[in-house]
Structure 1
């Protein structure tokens, strides 16, 4: 295997001109012959550097609006030829093909073009063909060829050449090839996904890609390696947030912070403040309030024990008073659209607390979610289902009163983000009991009620907070026992999808107990 390969000739063709001139100057200073195309060649020439146009080398002009310029044997032969194979070198000599030792290519900005809302034809014109073809050729022949597709690798390339008198090592070229193949895979995935969306069809073959954001200390447990990849989406999220303080986020931090931020994004900040506290990807308290501080306090009252070491998400910028309240207990992460100076000063004393700022809330529009299983990946539409008051069907003799209706809709919104089987008790715009992830729905109902009783003891209340509460169930009650348990805890109204074979039995039980119950016709399983 050839180790050191000297770079004598380079082809540069880039859409992103960042760092181009410094790179070209450094290569020229080392005596590297520069080849280039179109705007890249002009930029290099304007900088006073010597460069040859690819069209001059191939003998063919750029044509078809630039669609055809590097798809030529002179180019691909120079990239693919094995320098230690006499048949290959004889063919190079016979056809006047010069070796290309370095390829620097970044692709037409397809992803950025689509993200800006370009029309169909504009998106098509930003699908690069020659660039990916050259990257694959160079990457395949990394035994002899360096291939650079990311601007951030320019400095590494120059450092490698400086350390080896203008040459590069095989291991370095191998790493560059890996990056190049990853880039072409991601690029093709972006095009395929966009085309599937535009055509309204399900792709026969589907790829999923991301760009490494950080290597994590470990995964869910210390014996598991982990990394965080981002998909390039620019919407406010844990992936795009700015971390103002605190140590590096862990695997679990990222997972739980995403769950918290997606939960709180259900509540329009224009309607009023809201807070979600998450522990192990499940809400342990969600509330609205007249102020952000009140929303946090109400959410915290639901389950103060679980909130310790949890994640706090806010739907409005964090203020100093709310920060003071949050700082009373240990909190892993706080994520919010912003934070004023007073809040930042409060948290500055909490060195281990991570404060993330997003400049907005997550997009609640449609998308896809993915889950890996052995041998495959499950893909589904994101659950963006919402229920309004007019969508509900009252199935009991008694209809919910106005306050019950508000609490039913609130509880239903929270239940969407609780692991199934999910039961949520809510009262006055705040959760008062949450049961999550049980194999039996009646067990979730009992656990939520039990936790509410525990908080009554902590808060020194004379009765359980579930007295007079509304209850949401993410799927239907298969038997009346869950409903009866909720009634025993003091619930007065229930919201559930309906659709059980025993709906009539459950409705009859509700009527007998004087409960109000509405059906949504929509289920919110979350596994």
Structure 2
């Protein structure tokens, strides 16, 4: 069997004219519609209009043109089925062997912030998906193409064999159904968001491959990196890499953790992350001062870690950064002088990422489990959203308030059970991921050492009993911030009063598992 008749109807006209010309040169008859037909005719291609095939005009502003039995019978007829062939002959329908279709630009339309709902609806393709799905269903007999990147290989197949191989047809059909599924998902999610329904009966997502990864979390695991089709620019998925090796699976996870933390701050801040937990956070008058505090928080753990900044990295900061081994540096921008310094290190990855979203919106967080998924709102609540109450006899001092705020902003991003100590606008001890809260407090205090004296303690969840306050007192902690809400809160409050510790309740938990 050879390809004798093709139907071409594309929104993305990249490469379509030379492709059609070569099809014509190979003896393929071409049917086309609307704008595609005009482009091909103006380019000198002999085109059969869709109305000439159907005997029916394009109507309703082009909404109805390919939805016709003469088109879909030509696509769906099985060439090895005698009854199908007999019916084609009876109704004088010519089979269509090649379908080249891509869809109305729905994604590109809704990406524009000024797009009206009506305009978005008009860019939902109906006939295109119908033709693609029909051709893909009948891929044993029909070659179907939706991606301009496949044009050259299709032409090579036709020139060599007059047709495409069976496995090629099957691969293209699978690609079509992935494409239409992704397209339908964008439409469904747009309409669902428009109606305000948060958790519908089915939850469908779609991602586009950004890159293959060398391996996953461990070398024996294969992996790839995907991004949302219309995702936030303030994300690792949309980062601009200025220098260094390709990102790895673990790099991406760690970079995302660092970015989440740095977004908590409006004043100049620096964050160091290791294995998705903060190992140092500093706030300063300048970005250099902030980095020095973050480094001083834990100069051991930062080695081989990731740093993130919410201000441009300048030459002075870059000179400090080049002194140690770092995997990634994230910032909204880098001065040319800083780039000159940092790019001397061949492998360090420099990521330019916007720190604020142009159009912030609520997003869902998806966690995969075996056989399903957990979906929740992202935890965007911060200090200003909390119900702050001083529950002890003593109020925090002004300096303690500043450290309590820092501790609360950062402990939210530490794996539970989480305890964090902060002092003089830097973290000094982090206790992450322990099975009991006292264990996390002991780790944080041990890491802080003498710096624990006069520090502020933040806890991601309430104290179930007074023992964490006792541990804080032994370390020299002077103020505590925690959600409260335990049936034994009074025990913790009494112990804090006994030890002269100021304690604040937030009424808000920040578990991070």
Question: Smaller-chain TM-score range?
Answer: over 0.9
Match of 1:133 among 130, 135, 139: 130
Shift of residue 376, structure 1, vs aligned partner: 0.9
- CA change 1:160–1:506 in 2 (3 A) is farther
Conserved 8 A contact 1:161-1:168: yes
Aligned to 1:39: 35
Aligned to 1:504: 490
Aligned to 2:292: 297
Residues of 2 paired with 1:389 and 1:281: CA distance? 24
Shift of residue 85, structure 1, vs aligned partner: 1.4
Residues of 2 paired with 1:69 and 1:43: CA distance? 18
Partner secondary structure for residue 13 of structure 1: strand
Conserved 8 A contact 1:470-1:492: yes
Residues of 2 paired with 1:360 and 1:11: CA distance? 46
Aligned to 1:102: 98
Conserved 8 A contact 1:389-1:409: no
Conserved 8 A contact 2:309-2:330: yes
Shift of residue 224, structure 1, vs aligned partner: 0.8
Partner secondary structure for residue 179 of structure 2: helix
Partner secondary structure for residue 236 of structure 2: coil
Partner secondary structure for residue 424 of structure 1: strand
1:92 equivalent in alignment to 2:100 = no
Of stretches 330-339 and 20-29 in structure 1, the one that deviates more from structure 2 is 20-29
Shift of residue 433, structure 1, vs aligned partner: 0.9
Aligned to 2:371: 375
Residues of 2 paired with 1:30 and 1:482: CA distance? 80
Partner secondary structure for residue 155 of structure 1: helix
Aligned to 1:484: 470
Conserved 8 A contact 1:309-1:332: yes
Of stretches 73-82 and 110-119 in structure 1, the one that deviates more from structure 2 is 110-119
- Which whole-Å deviations, capped at 9, do the CAs of 1:6-47 have from their partners, x for residues lacking one? 332222212222222232223223222222211111122222
Residues of 1 paired with 2:451 and 2:357: CA distance? 31
Residues of 1 paired with 2:83 and 2:311: CA distance? 68
1:215 equivalent in alignment to 2:192 = no
Partner secondary structure for residue 331 of structure 1: coil
Residues of 2 paired with 1:29 and 1:320: CA distance? 60
Conserved 8 A contact 1:478-1:500: yes
Conserved 8 A contact 2:387-2:508: no
Question: Unpaired runs of 5+ in structure 1?
Answer: 454-463
Aligned to 2:62: 66
Residues of 2 paired with 1:153 and 1:417: CA distance? 44
- CA change 1:432–1:365 in 2 (3 A) is farther
Match of 1:442 among 433, 438, 442: 438
- Which whole-Å deviations, capped at 9, do the CAs of 1:43-95 have from their partners, x for residues lacking one? 22222222222122111222222222211122222222211211222122122
- CA change 1:300–1:75 in 2 (3 A) is same
Aligned to 2:336: 341
Question: Unpaired runs of 5+ in structure 2?
Answer: none
Shift of residue 485, structure 1, vs aligned partner: 1.1
Shift of residue 479, structure 1, vs aligned partner: 1.1
Shift of residue 234, structure 1, vs aligned partner: 4.5
1:28 equivalent in alignment to 2:14 = no
1:174 equivalent in alignment to 2:170 = yes
Aligned to 1:119: 116
Aligned to 1:157: 154
Provide the TM-score with structure 2 as the length reference: 0.95
Match of 2:424 among 424, 428, 441: 428
Residues of 2 paired with 1:438 and 1:357: CA distance? 34
Shift of residue 97, structure 1, vs aligned partner: 2.0
- Which whole-Å deviations, capped at 9, do the CAs of 1:493-514 have from their partners, x for residues lacking one? 1111111111111111111111
Partner secondary structure for residue 304 of structure 1: coil
Residues of 2 paired with 1:196 and 1:132: CA distance? 20
Of stretches 490-499 and 119-128 in structure 1, the one that deviates more from structure 2 is 119-128
Conserved 8 A contact 1:261-1:362: no
Aligned to 2:240: 242
1:266 equivalent in alignment to 2:264 = yes
Provide the TM-score with structure 1 as the length reference: 0.92
Residues of 1 paired with 2:396 and 2:153: CA distance? 66
- CA change 1:437–1:31 in 2 (3 A) is same
Residues of 2 paired with 1:213 and 1:360: CA distance? 21
Conserved 8 A contact 2:386-2:506: no
The alignment yields a C-alpha RMSD, in angstroms, of 1.8
Residues of 2 paired with 1:509 and 1:424: CA distance? 19
- CA change 1:300–1:113 in 2 (3 A) is same
Instruction: Count how many residue pairs are aligned between Structure 1 and Structure 2.
Output: 509
1:414 equivalent in alignment to 2:410 = yes
Shift of residue 390, structure 1, vs aligned partner: 8.0
Shift of residue 359, structure 1, vs aligned partner: 4.4
- Which whole-Å deviations, capped at 9, do the CAs of 1:421-452 have from their partners, x for residues lacking one? 11111122211111111111111111111122
- CA change 1:346–1:157 in 2 (3 A) is farther
1:147 equivalent in alignment to 2:144 = yes
- CA change 1:6–1:295 in 2 (3 A) is farther
Residues of 1 paired with 2:100 and 2:290: CA distance? 53
Q: List aligned pairs for 1:279-428, cutoff 5 A.
A: 279-361=274-356, 365-388=361-384, 391-428=387-424
